[in-house]
Amino acid sequence: QPPHVSAELGQTLGRLGQTLRDQVPAAGSAWGGWLPPGIHPDPRPPDEADVVVVGGGVVGWSVAYWLKVLEGRFRRHGMKVLVVERDPTYSRASTVLSAGGIRQQFSLPENIQMSRFSASFLRDINEYLGVPNEPPIDIQFQPSGYLFLASLEDAAELEATVQLQRGGGHPTVPPPPLPMSPPGLEDEGWFDPWTLLNAFRRKATSLGVHNCCGEVRGEEWGGWAQGVCSHCSQIYMPDSLEYQPVACSIVVNAAGAWAGKLLEAEGLPRDLCQPPLPIQPRKRYVFTWHCPDGPGLSCPFLVDTSGTYFRRDGIAGNYLGGMSPPEEEEPDPSELSVDHDYFQEQVWPRLARRVPSFESLRVRGAWAGYYDYNTFDHNGVLGAHPRLENLLVAAGFSGHGLQHSPAAGRALAELVVRGRFESLDLRRLGWARLEQGEPLRERGVV
Ligand SMILES: Cc1cc2nc3c(=O)[nH]c(=O)nc-3n(C[C@H](O)[C@H](O)[C@H](O)COP(=O)(O)OP(=O)(O)OC[C@H]3O[C@@H](n4cnc5c(N)ncnc54)[C@H](O)[C@@H]3O)c2cc1C
């Protein structure tokens, strides 16, 4: 047999084996039941790691990936990174329950710059996250645009930010020829959140990142003296009081909507909890519907003046959308059931007012997920805790964390590896604003 035939056969068998391993649940695994394809946490965490990342959502895995990328250039010996995820089915993780939108239309330069980078990252995703001998990543990026409708009063505000957006977040750019034109269709639209999460995870794992299933509990960190948190994270096994201590130098809190809770734990010295990390789960519904006469392929991700939003879901007359409630009508976040009356009474009438053909839509389904909501100013918190320099946070992106995850992960990894933000100046997203009580207002919040 010629050698290339057996090599090809070997590769094919290898791929088949991987597919089987991806599809068949890990027998006797601690968490039991079905796991998403490709998720195989190590049965036990290692005894020690340089960095423990709490939370295996898109932000946590992005941080882990970038740590390995940056470590390669600057250290002779690899950095041991461990991602801890308490629910490998991701049943409540924001990432997989999101609407998948990406836009350049923000009002803060930091958010615009993160979106800029993310759009190019998604376009070149196989350059960044491709793994040799694995199928290429199809992120299903639909560059159909993102359209904010504005009332006459709000139009001036939107117009003011267009110049900033067209300059990529840098204010010193000459006025654009079309003042109301956003940066262009090609960097806005939507993509598949699951694919991005899995691509980060697969690549990071291939670079040597460890992962395990378990819960990190803040109160167990202990040892808070001298401006550093404990050198030992206790990782609780699922549904068990059993825990495994993991000695580590740095902890990254990427626990999404639960990032604030992680630092609220009883038993932590009180001054360490001040200011509190103002990140909470806020329940948001996504409804899906069918409407054969609805807007066609050229329809962008649309945000109406009423606050409702929708986008196409495929090409067969299906759509998805929703609306954030006013602050005083926030639904109970303790569970993720869907209030179908909310669609009938609040969302549908507004949608039909904007798109008359939606009067005859047929609801197909719905789900609820959590915004990782920063109650202080709706922006991510990125950086080291003011009194614990080895505890860093990357959370609280409040409805835009999926699209900003490539840039946020890189920024956090730069802080860890190089001690400062290098690619983008994101210092204003740090803790200082929480301490000083100075919110960083973002007008483009959906
Ligand atoms: C309905 C909806 C629509 C959205 N639409 C968009 C959109 O169009 N565009 C966009 O950019 N963003 C959108 N978002 C926001 C986006 O999904 C989030 O900002 C982003 O996914 C946050 O990622 P994350 O990794 O921080 O959080 P998650 O994906 O929630 O991951 C955090 C993980 O941490 C784990 N965890 C928590 N505590 C612990 C612990 N103590 N120990 C171990 N593990 C722990 C959790 O189990 C979870 O899996 C939307 C969100 C929702 C809910």
Give mean pLDDT, residues 151-177: 68
- Give the per-residue pLDDT at 242: 74
Q: Summarize pLDDT for 414-426 with one digit per residue, the tens.
A: 999 999 999 999 9
Structure tokens at 268: 């932590």
- Give the per-residue pLDDT at 248: 86
Report the C-alpha gap between 100 and 95 in whole angstroms. 8
Query: From the CA of 77, how far away is ligand 1's center (Å)?
Result: 32
- Give the per-residue pLDDT at 156: 80
Residue 3, pLDDT > 90, answer no
Structure tokens at 324: 């954030």
Query: From the CA of 100, how far away is ligand 1's center (Å)?
Result: 12
**Portion of the chain with pLDDT greater than 70, in percent:** 78
Is the CB–ligand 1 distance for residue 402 below 6 Å? yes
Least trusted range by pLDDT, from 40-54, 90-104, 131-145, 167-181: 167-181
Residue 441, pLDDT > 80, answer yes
Report the C-alpha gap between 65 and 402 in whole angstroms. 15
Nearest CA to ligand 1 atom 22: 401
Query: From the CA of 156, how far away is ligand 1's center (Å)?
Result: 32
Report the C-alpha gap between 380 and 445 in whole angstroms. 12
> Nearest 5 degrees, angle CA 95-CA 376-CA 336?
40
Selected residue with higher pLDDT from 175 and 204: 204
Query: From the CA of 193, how far away is ligand 1's center (Å)?
Result: 10
Report the C-alpha gap between 310 and 92 in whole angstroms. 22
Selected residue with higher pLDDT from 241 and 336: 336
Residues 387 and 290: beta-carbon distance below 8 Å: no
Domains 35-145+186-278+375-446 and 280-374 share a fold: no
Residue 29, pLDDT > 50, answer no
Give the chain's mean pLDDT: 85
- Give the per-residue pLDDT at 135: 95
Report how many helices (DSSP H) and strands (DSSP E) the chain contains, helices first.
11, 16
Q: DSSP character for 142?
A: B
Sign of torsion over alpha carbons 371, 113, 102, 127: negative
Structure tokens at 370: 């959590």
Residues 393 and 382: beta-carbon distance below 8 Å: yes
Residue 316, pLDDT > 60, answer yes
- Give the per-residue pLDDT at 220: 56
Task: Read off φ and ψ for residue 9, nearest 5 degrees.
Answer: -60, -45
Q: Summarize pLDDT for 64-88 with one digit per residue, the tens.
A: 999 999 987 555 668 999 999 999 9
Structure tokens at 228: 């550093």
For ligand 1, what atom is nearest to the CA of residue 371? Answer: 53
Q: Which CATH architecture has domain 280-374?
A: 2-Layer Sandwich (3.30)
CB contact set of 237 (below 8 Å; sequence gap of 6+):
30, 213, 214, 243, 244
- Give the per-residue pLDDT at 411: 98
Total count of residues recorded for the chain:
446
Is the CB–ligand 1 distance for residue 188 below 6 Å? no
Crossing angle, helix 193-206 and helix 401-418, to 10 degrees? Answer: 20
Query: From the CA of 357, how far away is ligand 1's center (Å)?
Result: 33
Is the CB–ligand 1 distance for residue 371 below 6 Å? yes
Least trusted range by pLDDT, from 97-111, 179-193, 238-252, 367-381: 179-193
Q: Tell which one of 114, 237, 338, 402 to mutate to probe ligand 1, the residue whose CB is within 8 A of the most ligand atoms.
A: 402
pLDDT category, 185, cuts 50, 70, 90? low
For ligand 1, what atom is nearest to the CA of residue 284? Answer: 1
Query: From the CA of 94, how far away is ligand 1's center (Å)?
Result: 3
Is the CB–ligand 1 distance for residue 401 below 6 Å? yes
Is the CB–ligand 1 distance for residue 284 below 6 Å? yes
Report the C-alpha gap between 439 and 107 in whole angstroms. 14
Task: Read off φ and ψ for residue 196, nearest 5 degrees.
Answer: -65, -45
pLDDT category, 176, cuts 50, 70, 90? very low
Residue 28, pLDDT > 50, answer no
- Give the per-residue pLDDT at 293: 95
- Residue 301 belongs to what H/E stretch? strand 301-303
Nearest CA to ligand 1 atom 41: 216
- Give the per-residue pLDDT at 44: 78
Q: Tell which one of 53, 91, 98, 285 to mutate to probe ligand 1, the residue whose CB is within 8 A of the most ligand atoms.
A: 98
Give mean pLDDT, residues 206-219: 87
Q: Summarize pLDDT for 266-306 with one digit per residue, the tens.
A: 656 666 677 889 999 999 999 999 999 999 998 999 999 99
Query: From the CA of 372, how far away is ligand 1's center (Å)?
Result: 6
Least trusted range by pLDDT, from 159-168, 189-198, 219-228, 253-262: 219-228
- Give the per-residue pLDDT at 1: 47
Q: What is the largest CA-CA distance in the chain?
A: 75
Is the CB–ligand 1 distance for residue 255 below 6 Å? yes
- Give the per-residue pLDDT at 408: 98
Residues 435 and 385: beta-carbon distance below 8 Å: no
Report the C-alpha gap between 381 and 91 in whole angstroms. 24
CB contact set of 429 (below 8 Å; sequence gap of 6+):
110, 379, 380, 381, 382, 383, 440
Residues 81 and 51: beta-carbon distance below 8 Å: yes
Residue 122, pLDDT > 60, answer yes
Query: From the CA of 1, how far away is ligand 1's center (Å)?
Result: 51
Chain-centroid distance, C-alpha 286 = 17
Selected residue with higher pLDDT from 374 and 224: 374
- Give the per-residue pLDDT at 401: 97
Q: Tell which one of 372, 374, 381, 404 to mutate to probe ligand 1, the residue whose CB is within 8 A of the most ligand atoms.
A: 372
Domain boundaries, the chain: 35-145+186-278+375-446, 280-374
- Give the per-residue pLDDT at 224: 46
For ligand 1, what atom is nearest to the CA of residue 62? Answer: 25
Query: From the CA of 168, how far away is ligand 1's center (Å)?
Result: 26
CB contact set of 390 (below 8 Å; sequence gap of 6+):
228, 229, 249, 250, 251, 384
User: How many C-beta atoms lie closer than 10 Å to residue 107's C-beta?
Assistant: 17
Is the CB–ligand 1 distance for residue 394 below 6 Å? no
Q: Summarize pLDDT for 377-410 with one digit per residue, the tens.
A: 999 999 998 888 888 999 999 999 999 999 999 9
Report the C-alpha gap between 446 and 437 in whole angstroms. 23
Is the CB–ligand 1 distance for residue 115 below 6 Å? no
- Give the per-residue pLDDT at 329: 93
Give mean pLDDT, residues 365-381: 97
Give mean pLDDT, residues 360-379: 97
Q: DSSP character for 343?
A: I
pLDDT category, 188, cuts 50, 70, 90? very high
Give mean pLDDT, residues 114-138: 96
Residues 316 and 294: beta-carbon distance below 8 Å: no
Provide the H-helix boundaries in 358-423.
401-418
CB contact set of 114 (below 8 Å; sequence gap of 6+):
403, 404, 407, 408, 424, 426
| Assigned fold of 35-145+186-278+375-446 | FAD/NAD(P)-binding domain (3.50.50)
- Give the per-residue pLDDT at 46: 87
Residue 20, pLDDT > 90, answer no
